[in-house]
Amino acid sequence: MKFIDEARITVQSGKGGAGCVSLRREKYIPKGGPDGGDGGRGGDVIFQATNKKRTLYHLQFQRLYKAKNGSGGQGNNRAGKGGEDLIIELPPGTLVIDADTGDLIKDLVEPDEVFVVAKGGRGGLGNARFKSSTNRTPRFAQPGEPGQTLNLRLELKLLADVGVVGLPNAGKSTLVSALSSARPKIADYPFTTLTPNLGVVRTSRREPFIIADIPGLIEGAHTGTGLGIQFLRHVERTRVLLHLVDAAAIDADHPLRDLDAVNRELHQYSPKLSEKPQLVVLNKMDVTWAEDAASLFKEAFGKGNLLTISAATGEGLDRLTETLCNLLDQMDEAQSEE
């Protein structure tokens, strides 16, 4: 399925039904009085977060979403039927933004979260409601209130525990497929991955966690170069960054060049990304000259979270999974203490 992480739609809640003007007329009952019923309320437009949706692709073929109008009231004090609500399913992690003002309306984070984005109009009161000692036969009723119309921009930011970042061809997709059951497209040319891929990593020591392959970043990504900022937004949702570096492409004169380039783009997009826990991993250690290159990298890197793996052969993946579990557990403990 094509990956879509932004959509523009217009939602319109239902109009309330009009109240009824009716006077009771029955045989042998003179001066029966008013008996006009109330109009039904208009339907709401409701957003519901669900794991059944992973993208916003289903919203690309329709721009206007309308809930049903309420029915008008009837005689004999019969109220009109309420309009049916319109429920629109969205993937968790969707931001609901007012397209006209740019204001954030709602951030749908939790699965099964429900939010009424446009409330239906109230139904009008029938003339029976206006009967009084001074006005025994009111011949007027209220019209139904109009519904709400909103122009919305929906943005999806993937929810993941671990976000894999790095330059194109660092082996991110291979790593995600090796750690999980995800099967992203893999090839030996840059920008193989054009859409983020999510995988579930199952371990014996903790609950499964979600890992996301963020498409390759290059110099100037925060300004739109390459795949641009369209996927940088997904990094904001991750708890831990796994920074994958191609050991076979390490520059002997500037070993940290690739690492610094990606970190610089992350910081320029949002300084908060620099504060996220980051695990640096050297990949492709199965290549002949990778050991020498890795030594240069380790010397320049100094102390810090640094692992070496080969996603293609499986070397070091058990240790990587264990390290990621420890990081996530530490974050869970810190969060529970706060």
Q: What is the pLDDT of residues 11-21, one digit of tens each?
A: 999 999 999 99
- Residue 338: per-residue pLDDT: 63
Check: CB of residue 127 under 8 Å from CB of residue 141.
Answer: yes
- Tens digit of each residue's pLDDT (9 = 90 or more) over 281-322: 999 999 988 999 999 999 999 877 799 999 989 999 999 999
- Residue 3: per-residue pLDDT: 52
Check: CB of residue 195 under 8 Å from CB of residue 3.
Answer: yes
The helix/strand/coil state of 165 is strand
Rounded distance between C-alpha atoms, residue 74 and residue 38, angstroms: 8
- 81: exposed, middle or buried (Cβ count in 10 Å: 0-12, 13-18, 19+): middle
| Nearest Cα to Cα of residue 125 among 42, 39, 15 | 39
| Nearest Cα to Cα of residue 212 among 236, 189, 191 | 236
Check: CB of residue 10 under 8 Å from CB of residue 43.
Answer: no
Check: CB of residue 172 under 8 Å from CB of residue 164.
Answer: yes
Q: What Å distances lie between residue 74 and 77, 143, 161, CA to CA?
A: 7, 13, 56
Q: What Å distances lie between residue 321 and 78, 117, 152, 249, 308, CA to CA?
A: 65, 40, 40, 24, 12
Which parts of the chain sit beneath pLDDT 70? 1-4, 181-195, 216-232, 338
